[in-house]
Amino acid sequence: RVVVGTKVDQNHVNWVTAYNMLTGIRFTVSRTNAKMDRELTDADFEAKHKFSFDITGNELTPSAKYDFKFKDYAPWVFRHLRATFRLDPADYLVSLTSKYILSELGSPGKSGSFFYFSRDYKYIIKTIHHAEHKFLRRILKDYYNHVQENPNTLLSQFYGLHRVKIPYGRKIHFVVMNNLFPPHRDIHRTFDLKGSTIGRDFKEEDLEANPRATLKDLNWLRRNLHLEFGPTKKKAFIEQMQKDVKLLQRLKIMDYSLLVGIHDLERGNEENLRDKTLQVFQPGGEDAEDPGANMLMRTPSKLENARKAKELRQMIKTQKPIPMDQTTSKMPDELQDPKKNFYFYADDGGFRATHEDETAGEEIYYLGIIDCLTHYSLIKRAEHFFKGLTNQESQISAIPPERYGDRFVRFISGVTKTREAAEREKAEEAAT
């Protein structure tokens, strides 16, 4: 995970796209948040707003460095989702618009999606296919309702859905979501688990060249690893996973995985590579007049972030009178860590292992269900047909959503056990 990607600076091929994405987010999020909050209506789920940016600016949009079009989808729904996930609006803006410093994880999956991390590493922008985009809009209400009923969901937290287009360029859809992994801790091993065995093996011999690779189901089994949760945590984790997977099954979604990042507390933070990769791109001369530019040339301290967030919050609110109680600023800690409120992210952004007696364990798991926008479409059915001719179904990854989900839950539940339980089972096995 320390391979956080390449910094996106002005020399980067995707600089203009990244710049436009962030400019569009800044504009649309401030625009929606400037208004008085209100209840959602059905129309909010269908809403889309198009904006044109150009170098001169117009009565609606401020001037930008480049000409581009930006589309904002269901802004009120996402505003409410961000509130549900306890994101501070100003903090969100600070993270995503701090002078366009992102790092890019170029297309780690087969899908061709690009991933960008906000410079503070809290958020991920993922470019998605048109089909995924259409699908997310279609299921948005179901997702929204699920999240209201399950604020502790393990599913990806979606904070925004947008589209950007440069003249003569193609339309690029993207979502903003939570980065499951923490900015301040090394992740010693990463696994992407689906509960299937076909193609679910990262070649162990390639690990040396790429020690931070994301490993898969077979690598997990080979290492005899477990999600070490004592009774209370295990119950909560499995119950939530079951509820989440029920939704995915009902929406006919598949191909999702449980992403697991393991931080070994004994090893702690050995490498400080991440600090280096997070070192901030220094804006060129043309940005010199920007009042925010200076403080953004290095990683800002908590206090600086809090101050900046407070400023922005005031700016957002200037359109209406500010009630007394809202002007009292929050403590920086609260601002920094909305995750504290969420069961599976409350232990320093993750979920700490526990022993059978519920005392704290040696690892912190950073986990969640990701890549959940693939609909069981015709393509999948075709894949099923072809693979089905040669493989046992238990090994196929493209089985129908119902069975995909059941198999997923079975696998993950099966590997959720304490160290003590695993050792006991091993001893029993040896005895028979």
The DSSP secondary-structure symbol of 393 reads G
Minimum CB distance to ligand ATP smaller for 228 or for 371: 371
Distance from C-alpha of 57 to C-alpha of 67, rounded to nearest angstrom:
10
- Is there a contact between 266 and 364 (Cβ–Cβ < 8 Å)? no
**Contact between 196 and ligand ATP per CB under 6 A:** no
Residue 128, strand partner residues: 173
Contact 118, 25 (CB under 8 A): no
E strand or H helix at 153, and its extent? none
Interaction of residue 93 with ligand ATP, rule CB under 6 A = no
Among 30, 111, 277, 314, binds Ca ion (CB under 5 A): 111
For residue 15, the SS3 value is: helix
C-beta of 6 vs 111, nearer to Ca ion: 111
Q: Which residues have C-beta within 8 Å of that of residue 261, sequence separation ≥ 6? A: 1, 180, 181, 187, 189, 190, 350, 365, 366, 367
The answer to whether 95 contacts ligand ATP (rule: CB under 6 A) is no
Cβ 107 to ligand ATP shortest distance, Å: 7
Q: Name which of ligand ATP, Ca ion, none residue 110 binds, using a CB cut-off of 5 to 8 Å depending on partner kind.
A: ligand ATP
The two three-digit tokens of residue 332, written as one number: 């920086």
179 binds ligand ATP (CB under 6 A): yes
How many angstroms separate the CA atoms of 350 and 237, rounded? 12
From the CB of 293, what's the least distance to ligand ATP, in Å?
Answer: 28
Query: Tokens standing for 4?
Result: 């956080």
d(CA 115, CA 103): 8
Q: Which residues contact 246 (CB under 8 A, 6 or more apart)?
A: 405
Of 177 and 398, which CB lies nearer to ligand ATP in the complex structure?
A: 177
- Residue 183 engages ligand ATP in binding (rule: CB under 6 A): no
Kindly state the tokens that stand for 239.
């119950």
Token pair of 117, please? 């991390």
Find which of ligand ATP, Ca ion, none residue 102 binds, CB within 5 to 8 Å per kind. none
Q: Furthest-apart CA pair in the chain: how many Å? A: 79
Total residues interacting with Ca ion, rule: CB under 5 A: 2
Per CB under 6 A, the segment of 86-94, 176-184, 199-207, 337-345 that binds ligand ATP is 176-184
Rounded distance between C-alpha atoms, residue 361 and residue 343, angstroms: 16
Q: CA 253 to CA 352: how far, in whole Å?
A: 29
In the list 96, 101, 147, 177, the residue contacting ligand ATP (rule: CB under 6 A) is: 177
Count of chain residues binding ligand ATP (CB under 6 A): 19
371 binding Ca ion? (CB under 5 A): yes
User: Judged by CB, which is closer to Ca ion: 177, or 335?
Assistant: 177
Nearer to ligand ATP, 72 or 255 (CB): 255
**Are residues 3 and 209 in contact, defined by beta-carbon separation less than 8 angstroms?**
no
Q: For residues 99-158, which are near ligand ATP according to CB under 6 A?
A: 108-111, 113, 115, 124, 156
Report in angstroms how near the CB of residue 116 gets to ligand ATP at its nearest.
11
In the complex, the smallest distance separating the C-beta of residue 175 from ligand ATP, rounded to whole angstroms, is 10
User: Interface with ligand ATP by CB under 6 A: which residues?
Assistant: 108-111, 113, 115, 124, 156, 177-181, 190, 192, 214, 259, 370-371
User: Interface with Ca ion by CB under 5 A: which residues?
Assistant: 111, 371
